[in-house]
Amino acid sequence: MLTGGELAALIAAVVWTVLVAFLCVTLVKLTRLLSETTRVVSEFGERARPLLDDVASTVERTGNSLDRVEEITANVATSTEDISTMTTLTRSVVTGPLVKLASFSYGLSRVLGQRRALALVRSRRRRERS
């Protein structure tokens, strides 16, 4: 039979064996995880380079497009100023004579209207006298 010390040593040896086996399984899984992580990071690095190149070219094209848009905006601003100037000039050239013509036609119609009224009054007076 086993003595108390031998039994304790046997139990300790079994516990240590289970612990070492658990640690070995854990280390194997950790090794697999690290190798898989290394592979994923390597693939990501290979895929990231072309993506970064695409992003850089897109940013460059966007910058060129923005430069063109800025130039177009400047041209539109210049055209707007020119159109505003032409509108002001046309308004001043056309409005003045139109106002004068409207005033003249209004005055002429009033004078003709007063003459007709005066002629109507005179003809009534003549009829009354006769």
pLDDT tens digits, one per residue of 85-123: 998 888 888 788 888 888 888 888 888 888 888 888 888
Domain that holds residue 10: 1-94
pLDDT tens digits, one per residue of 36-63 = 999 999 998 888 888 889 999 999 999 9
39/9 Cα distance (integer angstroms) = 44
CB 114 within 8 A of CB 122: no
Please name the amino acid found at residue 118: L
Encoded tokens for 121: 């009054």
Best CA proximity match to 76, nearest among 64, 62, 68, 87: 68
Residue of higher predicted confidence among 11 and 1: 11
Mean pLDDT across the stretch 17-44? 95
55/61 Cα distance (integer angstroms) = 10
Identify the DSSP state of 64.
H
Domain tally for the chain? 1
Residue 58 lies in a domain: yes
Only one residue has tokens 């516990």, namely: 15
pTM over 0.75: no
Please name the amino acid found at residue 101: L
98/106 Cα distance (integer angstroms) = 12
Only one residue has tokens 């050239």, namely: 93
Q: Can you say how many angstroms the Cα of residue 22 is from the centroid of all Cα atoms in its chain?
A: 59
Residue 35 lies in a domain: yes
pLDDT tens digits, one per residue of 57-81 = 999 999 999 999 999 999 999 999 9
9/125 Cα distance (integer angstroms) = 154
- Amino acid 130: pLDDT: 67
